[in-house]
A and B are shown apart, each in its own frame.
Chain A
Amino acid sequence: MSEQQSGSPPAPSQRPPPAARRPSASFSRTILDAVVKGSPTVVTILAFVAAVVLGGLLIAFSDTTVLHAWSQFFSAPGNAIAQAWDAAAAAYSAMFEGAILNPHTVSAAFHGGSVGAIFYPLSQTASDATPLVLTGLSVAIAFRAGLFNIGASGQWVGGAIVATYLGFGISLPPVIHVIVCLLGGFAGGAVIGWIVGELKARTGAHEVIVTIMLNYIMYNFLSFLLGTPKALQQPGQSNLISPPVAASARLPHVGGPPPQVDAGFLIALAAAAGVWWLLSRSTIGFRFRTVGANPSAARSAGMNVEESWVLVMLIAGGLAGLAGAAVILGPVQSITFNSYGTYGFDGITVALLGRASPVGVVLAALLFGALHAGGTAMEAATQVPSSLVQVLQGLIVLFVAAPPLIRAMFRLRAARAAGLEAVPKGWNT
C-alpha cells in the first residue's frame, strides 16, 4: 500500500494506513502534510487558482486587441503574450478592487479622504454574500439529510412574496416590523419546502422533480401577483413591480457610516450558527444526518425517516425564504418579476463548495459574494462581462468536486478522499 508507484493514478478505493495519521504531529508538519497530500482546504485553494487561470485565458482570448496581437504571434510573440496578460490582469485587478480593497481609496484616505470608503468593497461583498449564505444553508441542510433541494429558488420567491406583503401591507413599530417580516419570509419559504417534504414522505414523489416544478410554479405565481392590480402590483404601475416596503420594515445598516454592514449579513451568520448547532449538537440534527447517511439504518434504529424528510425540507425552505426576505428588506425593497435572479442555483454551488457544512457555506458564500461584487466592478471598469463570474463559479466547484483531478494537475500525492461525501447519490434513495 505505502509503496505506491509514483505517477500511477490514485485508486479511489485506496485508504491510507491508520498509522499514517499520527496524532502527535507538529504544527509545521501538519501544514506540510496538508499541502503535499492535498487536504480539503488545499484542494479548494488550488481549485480556485486553476479556475482563475482558465478564466484569465477566457478573458484574454475573447478580447479583440489580444486576438489581433496573437494573429501576429510569429512576428511579435512578446507583444502577443503581453497583451493577453494585460487584458486578464486589468479585469482581475478591477475585480479585486470592487470586492476587497481599492488602493486608490487607501491613498486618498492618507490625503484627507474618507476612511470609510476603504471598506466600501468589503461591505458590498458582505451584502452580496448574504442571500448566498442563506440559500447555501438551505441546500446544505437538505444535503445532510440526503435530499437534493434544487428548489431554493422557488422557496426564495415564497419567502420574498410574504415579506413584501408584510413589508408594505401592515404598519408596526420599527424593530417589530422587521422581525415580523423576516419571520413571515421564513414561513413563506417553509411552506414551499414543506410541500416537497410532505409529498416525498407520503407518496414517494421525487424531490428533484417536485422542487423543479415548484420553481416554475412560484416564478409564475409571482408574476401573476405582480400583474394583478389589487394583489401585489404597485398602484398606478403597469410594470410587474410591487410597492416598496415601509421604512419601518427595512433592514438597518449596522455600524454606518462606512465601514458598515447590512443587518441581513448578521442574520445570515446567525442562521449559519443556528444550522451548525442544529446539525451537530441537537437530536434532530443527528436524526437528519443518520437519515442522510443511510435511511434504512435510520429506520432500523427506530427513527422516523419520513418525518425527518418533512422537517428538513421545511427548515431548508424557511432558510431560502429568509434569503428572499433579506434581499427584499435589505438592498432592493420592491419585488419584481425576476428578483429571484440566480440566488437559488448559486446556493447549490455554495453548498457544494462549502461541503455542506455551515462554516464552509459561509466561507463559500463570502467567496462568491466577492466574485459577484467584483464582477460588477469589473464590467464597469473594463467592459469584461460580469457573466465571467458564473464561469469562475462553475470551474471552482467542478475542480473542488474532483480532488483526483486537482491532485493530478498539481502533482500532489494521493490522500484520503476529500470529495463531497454527504450528498445524495442517485434517484433511488
Chain B
Amino acid sequence: MTTLAAAIRAPVTVNRRLVAAGTFIAFGLIDILFGLYAHRGDATFAFSVSGAGVHVPSIHAPASAVAYALGAASILIGLLRAFVDQPPWAKRLSIGLVLLFFVVSLLCWAYAGSAIPLNVVNLLQGTMNLSIPLVLGALAGCMCERSGVINIAIEGQLLVGAFTAAVIASVAGLWLGVVTGSLAGGLLGSLLAVFAIRFLVDQIILGVVLNVLASGLTGYLNDRILVTHPNLNTGLTFNPVKIPGLGDIPIIGPVFFDSTIFLYITYAMIILVQVGLFSTRWGLRVRAVGEHPTAADTVGIRVLATRYRNVILGGLIAGIGGASLTVGSVGTFTKDMSSGLGYIALAAMIFGRWTPLGATAAALLFGFTNSLQATLSTINVPVSSFLLLMAPYVATIIAVAGLVGRVRAPAADGKPYVKA
C-alpha cells in the first residue's frame, strides 16, 4: 500500500488545467486552419438513406464560415477551462464539444465545394459496425480487470472467436458459430484464469503470450486446413435485422436499429456489464475483490472463484466480439484479421477508466475515426489516407496525455491473491 500511496504522491510536473486548456485552444486553431484552406462553396451533409420512408432534407453549410465559428467556439471553451472552475460534467462536456467541433470543421474542409454530399447516416452506420468488436473487447477487459486480473489477451480472444465462428458457421450454421466463437474466447479466458490465478504467472506477460499463441494457432490452422478446405471457411454472414417501429425513425433508426444481431447483443452486454458491475450485489463483490481482496476474503467473498468467473465471462464476451468480425461482417476468416483491435479495445478500456460506459464511449470514438477515414478515402481529399488512419491514434495519445493523465486501475489489478 505504501508503494501505491507514494506513486500517487509522485510530483506532477504539469498543470493539468493549463494542458487541457492549451489542447482545446490548439484544436480551435486547427479548426480555423480548416476554414482557411477550405475550397469555396458549401459543404453538403445528407441525412437520408435510400429506401427510407421519410426524406430528411440535406444541409448546405458555408464551409469556411462554419469552421471559423467552431474554431472560435473551441478557443472560448479553452479559455473558460483555463480561468473558470468547472464541475466534472462541464469538463467532460467541453471535451466532447471540442472533439465534435473538430470533426465538423474537418468535414467542412473535406466536403467544401464537393459535388458528392457527405452521408452522415452512412458514416454513423459504419461507426457502429466498426465499434462492435472494440466495445465487446473493452467490456471483456472491464470484466476481468474489475476483479483484479489484467487482460491483455483481448486480441487473442477476438482472434480465436473469429476463427471458430467462421469455421463452425460454415459447417453447422450461423447461430452455432456465434455460440462456439464465444466459447472459444471463454476457453482462452479460462487459460488466462488458470495461469494467472492458479500458477501466478505475471498477467501482462501472460496476456502477450496468449496473443502470440492465439495468432500462431489460428494462423497455423488457417494455412494448414482452411486454405485447402474452402468449404470450412465459406463466409456466411448474418443479415441485418430492422427493429420494427424504431428502425423507421429518420437518422436514428438506420444507425441504431437496423443492423446485424451483433449490434443488439452489444447493447445488451453494455447494459448487463454496467448494471451488473455497479448496481448489483454481485458487482459490488467483484469490485471489492479487485480493489482489496484481503478485505473481501475476510467478509467471506470467495476471491479466487470470483476472479475465475469474471475472467471466463470476459473471455465469452470477447469471443462474441471475435465472431462479429467474421460472421457479423466479412464472413471469411483471414490470418491475423483482428489486426490489433484487441489492443485498441484495451486502450479504450483504460481511456474509459475501467468503466463499461467510459470504455464504450472510447471504443465508439475509435470506431468513428475509422469510419471517417473510410468515408474520406472515397472522395478526393488532398491528404494521404495513411495520415487519416494515423489520426485516431494521435488523438488517443493527446487525450491520454493532455486530458486524462494518470488513470487509476483497480487497486489489486494484476496482483495475484495468495491467502496468507
Which of A's residues lie within 8 Å of B, judged by CB?
A: 12-13, 58, 62, 148, 150, 199, 201-206, 208-210, 212-217, 220-221, 223-224, 227-228, 294-296, 299-300, 305-306, 345, 348-349, 352, 384-385, 387-395, 397-398, 401-402, 404-405, 419-420, 423-429
Are B4 and A387 in contact, CB atoms less than 8 angstroms apart?
Answer: no
Q: Chain B residues near A62: list those with CB within 8 A.
A: 220-221, 224-225
Whether A209 contacts B351 by the Cβ 8 Å rule is: yes
In the bound complex, CA of A209 to CA of B389 (Å): 17
Q: Pick the contact of A202: B2, B14, B225, B346 (CB < 8 A).
A: B14
* Closest Cβ neighbor of A64 among chain B residues: B228
Residues in chain A near residue B220, CB distance under 8 A: 58, 62, 385, 387-388, 390-391
B99, CB-defined interface residue at 8 Å: no
- Whether A148 pairs with B204 at a CB distance below 8 angstroms is yes
Q: B8 CB to closest chain A CB, in angstroms?
A: 9
Q: Determine the distance from Cα of A143 to Cα of B138 in the docked complex, in whole angstroms.
A: 25
Q: Which residues of B contact A227 (CB under 8 A)?
A: 384, 386
The answer to whether B223 touches A387 (Cβ under 8 A) is: yes
Q: Which one of B206-214, B230-238, B300-308 is at the interface?
A: B206-214
Task: Determine if B243 is an interface residue (Cβ-Cβ < 8 Å).
Answer: no
Query: Could you tell me if A401 and B397 are in contact, using CB atoms closer than 8 angstroms?
Result: no
B1-53 interface (Cβ within 8 A of A): 2-4, 6-7, 10-14, 19
Q: For the complex, what is the distance from the CA of A220 to the CA of B406, rounded to whole Å?
A: 27
* CB of A373, distance to nearest CB on chain B (Å): 17
- Chain B residues near A214: list those with CB within 8 A: 393, 397
The proximity string for B residues 335-347 relative to A, scoring 1 for CB distances below 8 Å and 0 otherwise, is 1000010011011
Chain B's interface size range is 35 or more
Q: Is the CB of B350 within 8 A of A204?
A: no
| Pairwise interchain contact B347-A209, C-beta atoms closer than 8 A | yes
Q: Which 5 A-B pairs give the minimum distances between C-beta atoms?
A: A390-B216, A426-B414, A296-B6, A204-B406, A394-B213
Other A-B pairs, 9, CB within 8 Å; known A295-B6, A295-B10, A398-B195: A209-B396, A213-B394, A215-B340, A216-B340, A390-B219, A393-B216, A401-B205, A419-B202, A420-B202
**B389 cross-chain contacts in A, Cβ below 8 A:** 216, 220
Assess the A209–B350 pair: CB atoms within 8 A. Answer: yes
Main SS of the interface on chain A?
helix
Which A residues lie within 8 Å of B217 (CB)?
58, 391, 394
Give the shortest distance, in Å, between A217 (CB) and chain B (any CB).
5
Closest to A58 in B: B220
- Mind listing 24 A-B residue pairs with CB under 8 Å? A62-B224, A203-B19, A206-B400, A209-B346, A209-B347, A209-B396, A213-B396, A217-B393, A217-B394, A220-B386, A227-B386, A295-B7, A296-B2, A299-B6, A300-B6, A306-B13, A349-B208, A390-B215, A391-B217, A392-B216, A394-B213, A397-B205, A419-B201, A428-B408
Cβ distance B232 to chain A, nearest Cβ, rounded Å: 12
Partner of A221, one of B335, B386, B401, B413: B386
Do B400 and A209 touch across chains, with their CB atoms under 8 A apart? yes
Smallest CB–CB gap between B393 and chain A, Å? 4
Q: Does B405 contact A (CB under 8 A)?
A: yes
Minimal Cβ-Cβ distance residue in A for B2: A296
B199 and A402: CB pair below 8 A? yes
Complex CA distance for A296 and B9, rounded to whole angstroms:
9
How near does chain A come to B83, taking the closest CB pair, in angstroms?
A: 21
CA distance A385 to B224 in the complex (A): 6
- Chain A residues with Cβ below 8 Å from B381 are none
Contact B212 A349 (CB under 8 A): yes
Contact A423-B413, Cβ < 8 Å, known A209-B347, A398-B195 = no
- Please name the residue on chain A nearest to B219 by beta carbon: A387
Are the C-beta atoms of B223 and A352 separated by less than 8 Å? no
User: Could you give, for residues 383-413 of chain B, a 1 whenever the CB lies within 8 Å of some chain A CB and a 0 otherwise?
Assistant: 0101101100110110011101111110101
Residues of A within 8 A of B2 (CB): 296
Chain B residues closer than 8 Å to A405, beta-carbon distance: 195, 199
Residues of A within 8 A of B212 (CB): 345, 349, 390, 393-394, 397
Decide if the interface of chain B is mainly helix, strand, loop or mixed.
Answer: helix
Q: How far is the CB of B166 from chain A (nearest CB, A)?
A: 17
**Residue pair A423, B6 in contact (C-beta under 8 Å):** no
> Contact: B216 with A205, CB < 8 Å?
no
What 0/1 readout, one digit per residue, does chain B (352-394) give for beta carbons within 8 Å of chain A? Answer: 0000000000000000000000000000000010110110011
**Docked-complex contact B209 and A397, CB < 8 angstroms:** yes
Q: Quick check: is B270 within 8 A (CB to CB) of the other chain?
A: no
> In the bound complex, what is the Cα–Cα distance between A228 and B384 (angstroms)?
8
Query: CB-CB < 8 A to A426: which residues of B?
Result: 150, 203-204, 409, 413-415
Most buried by A among B200, B209, B344: B209
- Asked if B418 lies at the interface with its beta carbon under 8 angstroms from chain A, I say yes
In the complex, are the beta carbons of A203 and B401 less than 8 A apart? Answer: yes
B405 in contact with A296 (CB, 8 Å): no
B221 to A, closest residue via Cβ: A62
Given contacts A62-B225, A210-B397, A296-B6, contact A220 B390 (CB under 8 A): yes
Nearest neighbor of A12 in chain B, beta-carbon distance: B200
Q: Which of A13, A306, A395, A427 contacts B414 (CB 8 A)?
A: A427
Instruction: Tell whether A205 pairs with B409 under 8 Å between CB atoms, given A295-B7, A296-B3, A394-B210.
Output: no
- In the bound complex, do residue B350 and residue A206 qualify as a contact, i.e. CB atoms below 8 Å apart? yes
Bound together, the chains give a CA A5 to CA B332 distance in angstroms of: 53
Cβ–Cβ contact B201 & A402, under 8 A: yes
| Residues on the A chain within 8 Å of B206, using CB | 398, 401
**Which residue from B347, B390, B401 sits with its C-beta under 8 Å from A212?**
B347
B-side contacts of A393, CB under 8 Å: 212, 216
Q: What is the CB-to-nearest-CB distance from A163 to chain B, in angstroms, rounded to a whole number?
A: 20
Write the chain B residue with the least CB distance to A228: B384
Q: Which residues of B contact A13 (CB under 8 A)?
A: 418
Q: Give the interface centre of B11, B199, B344 by most chain A CB atoms within 10 Å.
A: B199
Question: Given the complex of chains A and B, what is the CA–CA distance between A391 and B210 in angstroms?
Answer: 10
Expressed in whole angstroms, the Cα–Cα distance for A349 and B216 within the complex equals 13
| B400 & A205 in contact (Cβ 8 Å cutoff) | yes
State how many angstroms separate the Cβ of A243 from the closest Cβ of chain B. Answer: 19
How far in angstroms is the closest Cβ of chain B from A428? Answer: 5
Task: Find the A residue at minimum CB distance from B228.
Answer: A64
Q: In the complex, what's the smallest C-beta–C-beta distance from A360 to chain B, in angstroms? A: 14
- Across the interface, name the chain A residue whose C-beta is closest to B348: A209
On chain A, the residues within 8 Å of B208 by CB distance are: 150, 345, 348-349, 352
**Closest CB of chain A to B153's CB: distance in Å?**
11
Contact A205/B401 with A294-B3, A385-B220, A387-B223 known, Cβ cut-off 8 Å: yes
- Quick one: closest B residue to A240, CB to CB? B386
**Interface pair A425/B216, CB less than 8 Å apart:** no
B155 to chain A, nearest CB (A): 10
Q: Which residue of B lies closest to A63 (CB)?
A: B224
CA distance A428 to B406 in the complex (A): 9
Q: Are A427 and B409 in contact (CB under 8 A)?
A: yes
| Cα(A384)–Cα(B220), bound, Å | 9
**Chain B residues, CB < 8 A from A402:** 195, 199, 201
Chain B: minimal CB distance from A347 (Å): 11
